[in-house]
Each structure stands twice: as C-alpha cells, then as structure tokens.
Amino acid sequence: MKDFISINDFSPEQLKELLAESSQLKRLYKSGGRDLCLTGKTLAMLFEKPSLRTRISFEVAMTDLGGNAIYIRPEDIGGIRKQEPIKDIARVLSRYVDGIVLRTFEHSAVTELAAFAAAPVINALTDWSHPCQAMADALTISEHCGRIEGVKIAFIGDGNNVARSLAFASAKLGIKMVIASPARYELDADTINKANQVSAGSVQQINDPAAAVRDAEVIYTDTWVSMGQEKEKQKRIADFAGFQVNSELLKSAPPDAKIMHCLPAYRGFEITDEAAESANSIIFDQAENRLHFQRALLKKLMA
C-alpha cells in the first residue's frame, strides 16, 4: 500500500486491518499512551477547498505520532496545474516530505500526483471520492452497531463523493447500502456495478427515501451542494425537496436507527436541526473517528 486514493483499490482484509489499527490507536491515545512512530517525519497538506475536520484531524494525528504537518494553500505555490505541473509538484515535495495529502476538485489531480510522487499520497476529498471519511464512518458504524457485516445503511440525498466512497466501503466490508436520490442525482452505474462485483456487501440505488429507511440501522446524509457546486445551489435545493432527513422521514425508520452526517451539515436543508441533535445522532463520534482512522493510515503509509 503506497497511496490511499480510493477504497476500491484495497482488499477487504487491508481495510479491516486499517480499522483494527484505528481502534487500537484510539484505545492507546484514550488511555494516555503514545505511539511516536512518525518521529522526524513531515506531511505536506495541500488543500484547494476549505476544511475543518480533515485538515485539523490530519495535523493533530501527525503531531500525536511525533511528526510534523505543513499546510499549503494553492496560492502559496502558484496554484495547482497553474504555475507548475502536478508531476513537478509531486517530485519536488517528495524530496522534502514523507507524505502528501491533497484535497482538490478533479480526481485525476490526486491520481497524477500519486503517479509521480515517491512519497505516499492521501486523497483528502476530490469531487469523485472521500475515502478517509468512509473509513472513519465504518469505524463509527462498527462501534455503534457492534459489527459491520450485514449492517443496513440508508443514504439519503446526493450520489456524490461521500456516497461513492461509502458505497465502496459498504461493498468491501459487507454493509448493505441503499441510496435514495432524486432523479439525475443518483450514484453512477459504474460505481454501483463495481461495488456490486464484491460479494460481501451490496449497493442499491432507489428514488424513494421512505423505502430506503424502512429497515435501516443507520441513516446517512450529506449536503445537497458540495464544494464547487455553489452556482447550482438554488436548482439543487429545489431538486432535493423531499430528501431531507427530518422527523417525518424518521417515522418510516426503526426508532433506534442511528443518524450520521459527514459534516458540515446545512440544517434546514438536507437535515433538520432536530434530527442532527437527536439522541440517535452519532455525528460527533463520526467526526472524532476521522482522527483515529487517520492516525492508523499515516502509520501504515509513513512509519
């Protein structure tokens, strides 16, 4: 494992090993222990989009493991694909640092960076996927449901980067995922086909949110307007009407179904404040697990 770009690149065993290491490091740090496996190592973190969770949790994870992180805004280096090509950024950074994190728009930017970088490259979100999120989500699901295999998730909303990575994670880890989206916002057929080639889990795309949540153990949603889609905001808000996670939809779900959201949450749009703040909501455990998963990932790729 050199890079971490898409969950679909890895075997179920590799993903389970990362989850086990995440739990082990979580226990270690909660008990006041330390694993300084990255002493003297540096991570470069290049972010073309804003971030609260991903940026801060990667920086804290590096510090926790004894290393150091450098946050780079695109304007600091003359932009990405603007001043110099990605292949040059990859080779220069690899001479200085031991790992590179990239959050960007086009997924090809992260694959190109990885192809030319000697250092490991981590996808911190592209328009196509968000694998670190889905792995932290799997950890959260295992903690709250007591297992991963066979858990039923209903994803309500956009067939976006977060849904796609969750679909790949579901397939590999044995989760049964149903995604309910409005017409034209479904997950692409290629993702669904690839996910369903793995026999462990399953991914089903439908258009009816009430049917999706009917026997769900976990109900998951994400913004209707992802970063970079701001110009489509009004149209999307209209198109996603009826796809809000709210008390009306939850009447169709089992009463103990957990509520997840990768955050940031736009209350009053994809989720109501009431649902986000309800006793069934596990959104902050989910956010916390970004840190625990990423410690394990950094250790695996850089130690």
Binding-site size, ligand CP (CB under 6 A):
8
206 binds ligand CP (CB under 6 A): no
Among positions 8, 123, 161, 244, the unique one binding ligand NVA when judged by CB under 6 A: 161
What x-and-dash track marks residues 222-241 binding ligand NVA by CB under 6 A?
A: xx--xx--------------
54 binds ligand CP (CB under 6 A): yes
Taken in order 113, 119, 125, 130, the sign of the CA dihedral is positive
* In the chain, alpha helices (H): 12-30, 53-64, 86-96, 107-116, 131-145, 161-173, 189-197, 209-213, 233-239, 247-250, 273-276, 283-302
Instruction: Find, among 84, 2, 8, the residue nearest to 46 by Cα.
Output: 84
Q: Which is nearer to ligand NVA, 94 or 126 (CB)?
A: 126
User: Of the listed pieces 47-55, 187-195, 208-216, 295-303, which binds ligand CP according to CB under 6 A?
Assistant: 47-55
263 binds ligand CP (CB under 6 A): yes
In angstroms, rounded to a whole number, what is the distance separating the alpha carbons of residues 45 and 73?
Answer: 8
One of 53, 98, 103, 158 is an active-site residue; which one? 103
Instruction: Tell me if residue 145 is catalytic.
Output: no
Taken in order 36, 41, 291, 20, the sign of the CA dihedral is negative
Among positions 175, 212, 262, 275, the unique one binding ligand CP when judged by CB under 6 A: 262
Residue 264: cis peptide before it, omega within 30 degrees of 0: yes
Q: Which is nearer to ligand CP, 202 or 289 (CB)?
A: 289
In angstroms, rounded to a whole number, what is the distance separating the alpha carbons of residues 14 and 168?
Answer: 14
Closest distance between ligand CP and the C-beta of residue 56, in Å? 8
User: Of the listed pieces 45-53, 115-123, 239-247, 291-299, which binds ligand CP according to CB under 6 A?
Assistant: 45-53
The residues carrying an active-site annotation are 103, 130, 133, 222, 262, 290
